[in-house]
Copies of this chain bind each other. A is one copy, B any other.
Amino acid sequence: MEGHPLALHDVMFIPALVAQASDEQNKKWLRRAQRREIVGCYAQTELGHGSNLRKLETTATYDVSTQEFVLHTPQITSLKWWPGGLGKSSNYAVVVANMIVKEKHLGPHSFLVQLRDEITHQSLKGITVGDIGPKLSFNAIDNGFLGFDNYRIPRTNLLMRHSRVEPDGTYVKPPHAKINYSAMVRVRSHMATGQGNFLAQALTIAVRYSTVRRQGFIESGEQEVKVLDYQTQQHRLFPSIAKAYAFTFAGYETIRLYEQLLKEVDTGNVSLMADLHALTSGLKSVVTHQTAQGIEQARMACGGHGYSQASYISEIFGVAVGGCTYEGENMVMLLQLARYLVKSVEQIKAGESGKLGPLVAYLAVKVDGVDLEKGVEEYMKAFQHVSRLQTWKASEKFLKLLKSGEKREVAWNKSSVELTRASRLHTRLYIAETFKRSVQEVADPRLKEVLTDLLHLHVNYELLDMATYALEDGFLSSSQLDYVRDQLYFYLAKIRPNAVSLVDSWEFSDMQLRSVLGRRDGNVYENLVAWAKASPLNKTDVLPSVEKYLKPMMNSKL
């Protein structure tokens, strides 16, 4: 759970080579990396720069006389900082540096750089590398720092699948400005399923424990009720079960789109890139945020025992919540998507609705109202409405400020909170629609019925959560909102008998969950006692510190 030092070798280093190195280069490197003869990582973020790639300070200056790039770290903030596996494990790295050829700054490019001797593993001359210290989690990974002191690498170590520098310094541009972002797009695509998996683990523990824990009474009787029978407990957990499924479905669809993109990019077609880049930015942000919240609620749903490391939920949280920040800070991600949304609004205003991508086409179509009792299709229209309303409002706010003479960045900044709200609503629409499509495709009728209940729960929960936007222009009435509430509580109760099966169906083993509370056999209390007795403090009845600290204090007279 705390991560593996070589994880980034597989997750970032090899995919970066696949996506960015030329076929010829990969003949040299890829096979060696796959055989782990060399171990690598992906070094992009710097101590002083994460989100603003254009301002990365590490330079790679081309020396035409020797046909080498000179890597350099001009100041302390330019140190590479955070890359997983960089500090101690890797002997190579894909390093992103600002490329300078003939005194021209050509922006961030990727280079394969050797950091350590392949035999002795000692760091090479001109390289400063080490571990960045303990973190919230992932402490089995050596996230590292890296500095260069005029460190030379051959010209041919520039990854040249999409752009090239010829021996004489001639630069050949990539076909698409954002082509080198594909590694990030890929990782963000996988994050939705990964986060759904973290959420599912926490929910498995919390739901199982909630059928073991008994507290209080509902129907009178001798025995107290399982806490899962409380509506408040169901409300804490079941909407997150729906989300864990929804995120997984959304992730699968996005990965499929990414694979399609990769094929098209190789044939020179980059039209999907903007769509997918915007979508994965929003998806990554919404999914990680809601996952972290869902895991915390799952932990708290376990009451006091959720706070014990025996629950293991706080460890899952620590790992999952990293996703809110790594691979693109969430607020920055939402604003990237917002840029795409505003552009789409501008296209509509310019009468170019026909050019809109399929995911934003709804922004051009107005709907006056919905009849929610007709089913999930109508909820989708409601989600479209609130996303459209907020996207237009936020875009108009920005465009009006711009028109009033504000500088573009100032106008953008003044509209940015409203813009992030639009991005979230747009993404939640995408998640709901993917969820709906995926459930519709399920063949087994009994499985489909349970998943349809979850889908109903999801759309009612979501619509209530974003009701402000649906009420403010009269799109939804107060009585429609009461209908949504009634449906929400109806589906909580309906899902209750299937709740344990829904989490069991994820098939986590006890070894994977590492949780005393989430044990498949339900023998929680006796195992909590056994777990506690193994605490290091219980080796002796009287701690050594008693003699040293407690007794002198107790015998001193104040």
Name A residues whose Cβ lies closer than 8 Å to a Cβ of B.
34-39, 45, 47-52, 55, 76-77, 79, 81-82, 87-89, 118, 120-123, 130-136, 142, 145, 213-220, 224, 229-233, 235-236, 292, 296, 300, 303-304, 306-310, 314, 318, 321-322, 324-326, 329-331, 335, 407, 409-410, 413-418, 420, 464, 467-468, 471-474, 478, 481, 485, 489, 525-526, 528-529, 531-535, 537-538, 541-543, 546, 550-551, 553-558
Which residues on B sit within 8 Å (CB–CB) of A130?
532-533, 535, 537-538
CB–CB A554/B36 < 8 A: yes
Partner of A537, one of B88, B218, B410, B553: B88
Q: How far is the CA of A255 from the CA of B312 in the complex (A)?
A: 36
CB–CB A120/B89 < 8 A: no
Which residues on B sit within 8 Å (CB–CB) of A292?
296
7 pairs of residues in contact across A and B, judged by CB atoms under 8 Å: A36-B556, A133-B534, A219-B409, A231-B413, A303-B329, A464-B468, A472-B478
CB–CB A416/B136 < 8 A: no
Among A224, A292, A532, which residue has the most Cβ atoms of chain B within 10 A?
A532
Q: How far is the CA of A178 from the CA of B503 in the complex (A)?
A: 40
Q: Which residue of B lies closest to A299 (CB)?
A: B136
CB–CB A529/B224 < 8 A: no
| A553 with B416, Cβ < 8 A, contacts A330-B300, A471-B468 known | no
Q: Which residue of B lies closest to A531 (CB)?
A: B133
Among A49, A131, A557, which residue has the most Cβ atoms of chain B within 10 A?
A131
Q: Which residue of B lies closest to A137 (CB)?
A: B307
Q: How far is the CA of A213 from the CA of B48 in the complex (A)?
A: 7
Q: What's the minimum C-beta distance from A192 to chain B, rounded to whole angstroms? A: 19
Partner of A481, one of B48, B472, B556: B472
Among A131, A409, A420, A471, which residue has the most Cβ atoms of chain B within 10 A?
A471
Partner of A55, one of B213, B224, B472: B224
Q: What's the minimum C-beta distance from A379 to chain B, rounded to whole angstroms? A: 17
Partner of A220, one of B35, B132, B335, B409: B409
User: Top 10 closest A-B pairs, CB basis?
Assistant: A131-B537, A133-B535, A471-B471, A136-B314, A134-B309, A467-B468, A472-B478, A132-B532, A130-B538, A131-B535
Q: How far is the CA of A489 from the CA of B474 in the complex (A)?
A: 24
CB–CB B82/A220 < 8 A: no
Which residues on B sit within 8 Å (CB–CB) of A553?
36
Which residues on B sit within 8 Å (CB–CB) of A135?
307-309
Which residues on B sit within 8 Å (CB–CB) of A413?
218, 229-231
